[in-house]
Amino acid sequence: MDDTLHWLDVEEIAEELDEAHPDIDPLRLGFPKLRSLVEELPNFAEREGHPCNERILETIQANWIELRGDAPSSDDDEGD
């Protein structure tokens, strides 16, 4: 089984980032730094035909925030 992560493995990348960088707040992370952190993961390799884009970075960041439990819940405001 191939353990290599690629840009489309957004959930797995978020998990790896959460483990590797417990001191970083994903809510305060800009996309250039996020991209750099992903590219520095030891099991990450960019796959030809699947380059990084803003949507992928947004999804990785959202998954990482969700893992931390910091995601604002839209359900909290419903019914008020």
In CATH terms, 10-70 corresponds, of 1.25.40.10, 2.40.110.10, 1.10.10.600, 1.20.120.80, to: 1.10.10.600
The candidate with the shortest Cα–Cα distance to 5, out of 37, 33, 30, is 37
User: Predicted confidence band at 73 (pLDDT cuts at 50, 70, 90)?
Assistant: low
Question: What is this structure's pTM?
Answer: 0.83
38-47 burial, b at 16+ Cβ within 10 Å, e below that, comes to: beebeebeee
Query: What's the pLDDT at 79?
Result: 47
CA–CA distance, 12 with 45 (Å, rounded to integer)? 13
CA–CA distance, 66 with 23 (Å, rounded to integer)? 16
pLDDT digits (tens, 9 = 90+) for 24-65: 999 999 999 999 999 999 999 999 888 899 999 999 999 999
Query: What's the pLDDT at 77?
Result: 46
CA–CA distance, 58 with 74 (Å, rounded to integer)? 17
Residue 80 DSSP symbol: -
Domain limits, the chain? 10-70
